[in-house]
Amino acid sequence: MSLITYKNLYTLTVEEIEKRLQFDTSSNYDKQLDLDVKSISTDFNSSISAVQYTLSEALPSTILDGLEVEATEPISSTIIINPGKGTAGGVLFVLGEQTSLPIALDTGVSILYIVLYQDTIRVQKDVNNTGLLVAKIIIPEPGVTAYIQDNKDDSINAYIVNMKEYKLYGFRGKFEEETVELLKDNILPLLAESLIGSLTLSEHLTVTNLAGSMILNSDSMQFFNIDGDELAYFGATLSRVGNISITPHTIESGNYLANVSGFQIQDNGDAEFNNIRLRATLYTSTIEENLYISPGVTIIGDLNFDDDIALLATKKIIFDRDMGSDTYWVYNPTTSYLEGWVDGSKRIEL
Protein backbone atom coordinates (compact mmCIF):
# COMPACT_ATOMS: atom_id res chain seq x y z
CA MET A 1 0.00 0.00 0.00
CA SER A 2 1.30 3.45 -0.88
CA LEU A 3 2.11 5.87 1.93
CA ILE A 4 -0.87 8.08 2.86
CA THR A 5 -0.04 10.99 5.15
CA TYR A 6 -2.61 13.14 6.87
CA LYS A 7 -2.84 16.07 9.25
CA ASN A 8 -6.02 17.35 10.79
CA LEU A 9 -6.92 21.02 10.78
CA TYR A 10 -6.19 21.36 14.49
CA THR A 11 -2.64 20.02 14.10
CA LEU A 12 -1.98 22.34 11.18
CA THR A 13 -3.25 25.27 13.25
CA VAL A 14 -1.05 24.43 16.24
CA GLU A 15 2.01 24.08 14.00
CA GLU A 16 1.33 27.49 12.57
CA ILE A 17 0.99 28.97 16.10
CA GLU A 18 4.25 27.39 17.19
CA LYS A 19 6.04 28.84 14.19
CA ARG A 20 4.65 32.35 14.55
CA LEU A 21 3.87 32.97 18.24
CA GLN A 22 6.94 33.75 20.39
CA PHE A 23 7.18 35.64 23.67
CA ASP A 24 10.25 37.65 24.69
CA THR A 25 10.08 37.65 28.51
CA SER A 26 13.11 39.93 28.74
CA SER A 27 11.27 42.76 27.09
CA ASN A 28 9.73 45.68 28.88
CA TYR A 29 6.53 43.73 29.06
CA ASP A 30 7.79 41.83 32.13
CA LYS A 31 4.28 41.18 33.32
CA GLN A 32 3.44 39.44 30.09
CA LEU A 33 2.48 35.85 30.55
CA ASP A 34 4.96 33.36 29.16
CA LEU A 35 2.41 31.22 27.36
CA ASP A 36 3.33 27.60 26.89
CA VAL A 37 2.24 26.58 23.42
CA LYS A 38 2.69 22.90 24.25
CA SER A 39 0.36 23.21 27.22
CA ILE A 40 -2.16 24.88 24.93
CA SER A 41 -1.80 21.93 22.59
CA THR A 42 -2.38 19.51 25.43
CA ASP A 43 -5.51 21.32 26.49
CA PHE A 44 -6.80 21.35 22.93
CA ASN A 45 -6.01 17.67 22.43
CA SER A 46 -8.50 16.80 25.13
CA SER A 47 -11.35 18.02 22.96
CA ILE A 48 -9.96 17.13 19.53
CA SER A 49 -12.48 14.34 18.99
CA ALA A 50 -15.40 16.71 19.42
CA VAL A 51 -13.78 19.33 17.20
CA GLN A 52 -12.93 16.76 14.58
CA TYR A 53 -16.50 15.48 14.51
CA THR A 54 -17.81 19.02 14.09
CA LEU A 55 -15.38 19.64 11.25
CA SER A 56 -16.36 16.41 9.52
CA GLU A 57 -19.96 17.52 9.57
CA ALA A 58 -19.25 21.07 8.45
CA LEU A 59 -16.48 20.73 5.85
CA PRO A 60 -17.15 18.90 2.57
CA SER A 61 -14.63 16.62 0.87
CA THR A 62 -12.44 18.51 -1.57
CA ILE A 63 -9.80 17.17 -3.93
CA LEU A 64 -7.08 19.77 -4.13
CA ASP A 65 -4.77 18.17 -6.67
CA GLY A 66 -4.48 14.90 -8.55
CA LEU A 67 -6.19 11.76 -7.15
CA GLU A 68 -7.71 11.00 -10.58
CA VAL A 69 -8.93 7.42 -10.89
CA GLU A 70 -8.31 5.70 -14.23
CA ALA A 71 -8.98 2.36 -15.89
CA THR A 72 -6.09 0.09 -16.84
CA GLU A 73 -4.93 -0.36 -20.42
CA PRO A 74 -6.20 -2.78 -21.60
CA ILE A 75 -9.26 -2.56 -19.39
CA SER A 76 -9.65 -4.99 -16.48
CA SER A 77 -11.38 -5.11 -13.10
CA THR A 78 -8.53 -3.06 -11.57
CA ILE A 79 -8.36 0.73 -11.27
CA ILE A 80 -5.40 3.09 -10.91
CA ILE A 81 -5.43 5.95 -8.37
CA ASN A 82 -2.95 8.71 -9.19
CA PRO A 83 -1.03 10.66 -6.54
CA GLY A 84 -2.58 13.79 -5.13
CA LYS A 85 -4.09 15.44 -2.10
CA GLY A 86 -7.43 16.51 -0.72
CA THR A 87 -9.27 17.39 2.47
CA ALA A 88 -12.25 15.92 4.28
CA GLY A 89 -13.62 17.05 7.64
CA GLY A 90 -10.57 19.18 8.37
CA VAL A 91 -8.11 16.37 7.61
CA LEU A 92 -5.53 16.66 4.84
CA PHE A 93 -4.98 13.42 2.92
CA VAL A 94 -1.96 12.94 0.66
CA LEU A 95 -1.47 9.90 -1.59
CA GLY A 96 2.25 9.76 -2.30
CA GLU A 97 2.40 7.43 -5.30
CA GLN A 98 0.29 5.78 -7.97
CA THR A 99 -1.71 2.87 -6.58
CA SER A 100 -3.48 -0.05 -8.28
CA LEU A 101 -6.66 -1.29 -6.64
CA PRO A 102 -8.63 -4.42 -7.71
CA ILE A 103 -12.42 -4.02 -7.64
CA ALA A 104 -14.91 -6.82 -6.94
CA LEU A 105 -17.74 -6.27 -9.41
CA ASP A 106 -19.97 -9.11 -8.16
CA THR A 107 -21.06 -7.51 -4.87
CA GLY A 108 -24.65 -7.08 -6.02
CA VAL A 109 -24.60 -3.26 -5.94
CA SER A 110 -24.57 -0.85 -8.86
CA ILE A 111 -22.36 1.83 -7.25
CA LEU A 112 -19.05 1.43 -5.39
CA TYR A 113 -17.19 4.30 -3.72
CA ILE A 114 -13.41 4.74 -3.58
CA VAL A 115 -12.52 6.41 -0.26
CA LEU A 116 -9.17 7.46 1.25
CA TYR A 117 -8.69 7.04 5.01
CA GLN A 118 -5.83 7.91 7.32
CA ASP A 119 -3.87 4.76 6.52
CA THR A 120 -5.66 2.94 3.72
CA ILE A 121 -7.89 3.08 0.61
CA ARG A 122 -11.23 1.33 0.81
CA VAL A 123 -13.92 0.24 -1.64
CA GLN A 124 -17.34 0.84 -0.04
CA LYS A 125 -21.01 0.41 -0.83
CA ASP A 126 -21.84 3.76 0.82
CA VAL A 127 -20.06 6.93 2.00
CA ASN A 128 -19.53 8.69 5.32
CA ASN A 129 -17.81 11.80 6.66
CA THR A 130 -14.64 10.15 7.97
CA GLY A 131 -12.81 9.70 4.68
CA LEU A 132 -12.07 11.46 1.41
CA LEU A 133 -14.32 10.33 -1.46
CA VAL A 134 -12.26 10.32 -4.67
CA ALA A 135 -14.42 8.43 -7.20
CA LYS A 136 -17.46 6.28 -7.90
CA ILE A 137 -17.57 3.07 -9.94
CA ILE A 138 -20.91 2.68 -11.77
CA ILE A 139 -21.75 -0.97 -12.52
CA PRO A 140 -24.53 -1.38 -15.17
CA GLU A 141 -25.07 -5.11 -14.56
CA PRO A 142 -23.72 -6.32 -11.20
CA GLY A 143 -22.60 -9.92 -11.40
CA VAL A 144 -22.32 -9.75 -15.20
CA THR A 145 -20.08 -6.71 -15.67
CA ALA A 146 -16.43 -7.82 -15.71
CA TYR A 147 -14.42 -4.77 -16.81
CA ILE A 148 -13.99 -1.14 -15.78
CA GLN A 149 -13.41 1.65 -18.31
CA ASP A 150 -12.93 5.40 -18.04
CA ASN A 151 -16.15 6.67 -19.61
CA LYS A 152 -19.74 5.58 -20.04
CA ASP A 153 -20.88 4.05 -23.34
CA ASP A 154 -23.49 1.55 -24.55
CA SER A 155 -21.59 -1.49 -23.25
CA ILE A 156 -22.16 -3.30 -19.92
CA ASN A 157 -18.68 -2.33 -18.70
CA ALA A 158 -18.46 -0.42 -15.43
CA TYR A 159 -17.19 3.16 -15.71
CA ILE A 160 -15.46 5.67 -13.44
CA VAL A 161 -16.88 8.97 -12.17
CA ASN A 162 -14.15 11.08 -10.57
CA MET A 163 -15.25 13.38 -7.75
CA LYS A 164 -12.80 16.16 -8.46
CA GLU A 165 -14.42 19.60 -8.34
CA TYR A 166 -13.96 21.54 -11.56
CA LYS A 167 -13.49 25.29 -11.68
CA LEU A 168 -14.73 27.41 -14.54
CA TYR A 169 -12.39 30.23 -15.51
CA GLY A 170 -12.84 33.08 -17.93
CA PHE A 171 -11.56 36.50 -18.84
CA ARG A 172 -13.63 39.51 -19.88
CA GLY A 173 -16.78 37.49 -20.32
CA LYS A 174 -15.18 34.65 -22.30
CA PHE A 175 -14.36 31.15 -21.11
CA GLU A 176 -10.79 29.94 -21.42
CA GLU A 177 -10.05 26.99 -23.71
CA GLU A 178 -9.75 24.47 -20.86
CA THR A 179 -13.12 25.58 -19.49
CA VAL A 180 -14.75 25.20 -22.91
CA GLU A 181 -13.34 21.68 -23.21
CA LEU A 182 -14.57 20.87 -19.72
CA LEU A 183 -18.08 22.07 -20.48
CA LYS A 184 -18.12 20.21 -23.78
CA ASP A 185 -17.18 16.93 -22.09
CA ASN A 186 -19.30 17.21 -18.95
CA ILE A 187 -22.33 19.43 -19.58
CA LEU A 188 -25.69 18.00 -18.58
CA PRO A 189 -28.60 17.65 -21.03
CA LEU A 190 -29.61 21.05 -22.42
CA LEU A 191 -33.18 22.11 -21.68
CA ALA A 192 -34.59 25.13 -23.50
CA GLU A 193 -37.91 26.39 -24.83
CA SER A 194 -36.20 28.52 -27.47
CA LEU A 195 -32.70 29.11 -28.75
CA ILE A 196 -31.54 32.45 -30.15
CA GLY A 197 -28.59 32.82 -32.49
CA SER A 198 -26.51 30.12 -34.16
CA LEU A 199 -26.36 26.56 -32.90
CA THR A 200 -23.22 24.70 -33.98
CA LEU A 201 -23.44 20.93 -33.55
CA SER A 202 -20.55 18.52 -33.19
CA GLU A 203 -20.06 16.03 -36.02
CA HIS A 204 -20.70 13.22 -33.54
CA LEU A 205 -23.76 14.76 -31.86
CA THR A 206 -27.13 13.02 -31.98
CA VAL A 207 -30.33 15.00 -31.37
CA THR A 208 -33.46 13.07 -30.38
CA ASN A 209 -36.77 13.84 -28.70
CA LEU A 210 -38.12 12.21 -25.54
CA ALA A 211 -40.60 10.08 -27.47
CA GLY A 212 -37.84 8.72 -29.71
CA SER A 213 -39.85 9.63 -32.81
CA MET A 214 -37.11 11.87 -34.26
CA ILE A 215 -33.37 11.21 -34.51
CA LEU A 216 -31.01 13.76 -36.08
CA ASN A 217 -27.25 13.46 -36.53
CA SER A 218 -24.62 14.55 -39.04
CA ASP A 219 -25.53 11.74 -41.46
CA SER A 220 -29.30 11.48 -41.43
CA MET A 221 -32.69 12.47 -40.03
CA GLN A 222 -35.31 9.82 -39.13
CA PHE A 223 -38.96 10.01 -38.10
CA PHE A 224 -40.97 7.17 -36.49
CA ASN A 225 -44.58 6.59 -35.49
CA ILE A 226 -45.68 5.57 -31.98
CA ASP A 227 -45.11 1.90 -32.86
CA GLY A 228 -41.51 2.50 -33.85
CA ASP A 229 -42.12 2.09 -37.59
CA GLU A 230 -40.05 4.39 -39.79
CA LEU A 231 -42.11 7.11 -41.46
CA ALA A 232 -39.32 8.99 -43.21
CA TYR A 233 -35.55 8.88 -43.57
CA PHE A 234 -33.34 11.60 -45.03
CA GLY A 235 -29.67 10.83 -45.70
CA ALA A 236 -26.84 11.99 -47.92
CA THR A 237 -27.16 9.17 -50.48
CA LEU A 238 -30.67 7.85 -49.80
CA SER A 239 -33.95 9.28 -48.53
CA ARG A 240 -37.29 7.57 -48.01
CA VAL A 241 -40.80 8.86 -47.46
CA GLY A 242 -43.21 5.98 -47.12
CA ASN A 243 -42.60 3.71 -50.12
CA ILE A 244 -40.86 6.40 -52.19
CA SER A 245 -37.03 6.43 -52.34
CA ILE A 246 -34.86 9.35 -53.41
CA THR A 247 -31.26 8.72 -54.49
CA PRO A 248 -28.73 11.24 -55.85
CA HIS A 249 -29.96 10.53 -59.40
CA THR A 250 -33.46 9.00 -59.19
CA ILE A 251 -36.89 9.12 -57.61
CA GLU A 252 -38.38 5.64 -57.52
CA SER A 253 -40.85 3.41 -55.75
CA GLY A 254 -39.60 0.95 -53.18
CA ASN A 255 -40.67 -1.96 -55.37
CA TYR A 256 -39.02 -0.66 -58.53
CA LEU A 257 -37.53 -3.36 -60.75
CA ALA A 258 -36.59 -2.39 -64.30
CA ASN A 259 -39.15 -3.58 -66.88
CA VAL A 260 -41.07 -5.44 -64.15
CA SER A 261 -42.65 -3.31 -61.41
CA GLY A 262 -42.84 0.13 -59.80
CA PHE A 263 -41.63 3.36 -61.33
CA GLN A 264 -38.45 5.37 -61.69
CA ILE A 265 -37.67 8.95 -62.76
CA GLN A 266 -33.99 9.62 -63.51
CA ASP A 267 -32.23 12.98 -63.32
CA ASN A 268 -31.41 12.78 -67.06
CA GLY A 269 -35.15 12.85 -67.83
CA ASP A 270 -35.66 9.14 -68.48
CA ALA A 271 -38.62 7.54 -66.73
CA GLU A 272 -40.39 4.21 -66.47
CA PHE A 273 -44.02 3.72 -65.41
CA ASN A 274 -46.79 1.21 -65.76
CA ASN A 275 -50.02 3.00 -66.73
CA ILE A 276 -50.19 6.73 -67.46
CA ARG A 277 -53.39 8.78 -67.57
CA LEU A 278 -53.03 12.12 -69.41
CA ARG A 279 -55.57 14.87 -68.76
CA ALA A 280 -54.06 17.40 -71.17
CA THR A 281 -51.66 17.41 -74.12
CA LEU A 282 -48.89 14.88 -74.74
CA TYR A 283 -45.85 16.45 -76.40
CA THR A 284 -42.88 14.49 -77.73
CA SER A 285 -39.98 15.35 -80.03
CA THR A 286 -38.86 11.87 -81.01
CA ILE A 287 -39.96 8.24 -81.04
CA GLU A 288 -37.12 5.76 -80.72
CA GLU A 289 -39.36 2.91 -81.77
CA ASN A 290 -43.01 2.64 -82.67
CA LEU A 291 -45.32 4.39 -80.20
CA TYR A 292 -47.79 1.84 -78.81
CA ILE A 293 -51.07 2.89 -77.26
CA SER A 294 -52.36 -0.23 -75.55
CA PRO A 295 -55.93 -1.12 -74.55
CA GLY A 296 -57.04 0.58 -71.35
CA VAL A 297 -54.97 3.74 -71.99
CA THR A 298 -57.17 6.81 -71.90
CA ILE A 299 -56.02 10.07 -73.48
CA ILE A 300 -58.16 13.07 -72.57
CA GLY A 301 -57.52 16.08 -74.75
CA ASP A 302 -55.21 16.45 -77.76
CA LEU A 303 -52.43 14.10 -78.86
CA ASN A 304 -49.97 16.43 -80.64
CA PHE A 305 -46.76 15.44 -82.40
CA ASP A 306 -43.84 17.54 -83.49
CA ASP A 307 -43.09 17.87 -87.21
CA ASP A 308 -39.86 15.91 -86.71
CA ILE A 309 -41.88 12.85 -85.75
CA ALA A 310 -44.04 13.09 -88.81
CA LEU A 311 -40.94 13.05 -91.00
CA LEU A 312 -39.83 9.68 -89.57
CA ALA A 313 -41.56 7.49 -92.10
CA THR A 314 -40.57 4.24 -90.42
CA LYS A 315 -42.16 5.16 -87.10
CA LYS A 316 -45.76 4.37 -86.30
CA ILE A 317 -48.26 5.50 -83.73
CA ILE A 318 -49.89 2.17 -83.02
CA PHE A 319 -53.25 1.62 -81.35
CA ASP A 320 -52.76 -1.93 -80.16
CA ARG A 321 -56.12 -3.61 -79.77
CA ASP A 322 -55.06 -7.27 -79.73
CA MET A 323 -51.36 -7.11 -78.89
CA GLY A 324 -50.69 -6.69 -82.62
CA SER A 325 -50.03 -3.70 -84.87
CA ASP A 326 -53.16 -3.61 -86.99
CA THR A 327 -54.30 -0.08 -86.16
CA TYR A 328 -51.91 2.83 -86.48
CA TRP A 329 -50.98 6.23 -87.87
CA VAL A 330 -47.94 6.58 -90.11
CA TYR A 331 -46.44 9.41 -92.17
CA ASN A 332 -45.99 8.76 -95.92
CA PRO A 333 -43.02 10.85 -97.16
CA THR A 334 -43.96 10.23 -100.79
CA THR A 335 -47.43 11.72 -100.55
CA SER A 336 -46.64 13.92 -97.55
CA TYR A 337 -49.82 12.62 -95.91
CA LEU A 338 -50.40 11.22 -92.45
CA GLU A 339 -52.21 7.91 -93.04
CA GLY A 340 -54.54 6.07 -90.70
CA TRP A 341 -54.59 2.27 -91.12
CA VAL A 342 -57.06 -0.22 -89.62
CA ASP A 343 -56.73 -3.98 -90.03
CA GLY A 344 -54.29 -3.59 -92.91
CA SER A 345 -56.38 -1.07 -94.87
CA LYS A 346 -55.69 2.63 -95.21
CA ARG A 347 -58.75 4.42 -93.97
CA ILE A 348 -57.79 8.10 -93.92
CA GLU A 349 -55.12 10.56 -95.16
CA LEU A 350 -54.41 13.89 -93.53
What one-character DSSP code corresponds to residue 342? E
Phi, psi of 182 (to 5 degrees): -65, -45
Q: Where are the domains of the chain?
A: 1-169, 207-242, 278-349
236 vs 37, more confident: 236
What pLDDT score was predicted for residue 37?
46
Give per-residue pLDDT as tens, 128-138: 777 888 889 98
Q: In what order do the strands lie in the sheet with 345-349?
A: 291-293, 316-319, 327-332, 337-342, 345-349
pTM more than 0.75: no
Rg (CA), the chain: 42
Sequential DSSP letters for 276-332: --BSS-B--S--SS-EEE-TT--B-S-B---HHHHT-TT-EEEE-SSSS--EEEEEE
Give per-residue pLDDT as tens, 142-191: 888 889 998 888 888 999 888 876 666 666 677 777 777 777 766 666 66
* Cα gap 133→67, rounded to integer Å: 10
* Cα gap 189→204, rounded to integer Å: 15
Give per-residue pLDDT as tens, 248-257: 899 999 899 9
What pLDDT score was predicted for residue 40?
47
* Cα gap 27→139, rounded to integer Å: 68
| pLDDT of 206 above 50 | yes
Handedness of CA 226, 227, 231, 235 (dihedral sign): positive
Give per-residue pLDDT as tens, 260-294: 899 999 999 889 988 777 777 777 666 555 566 66
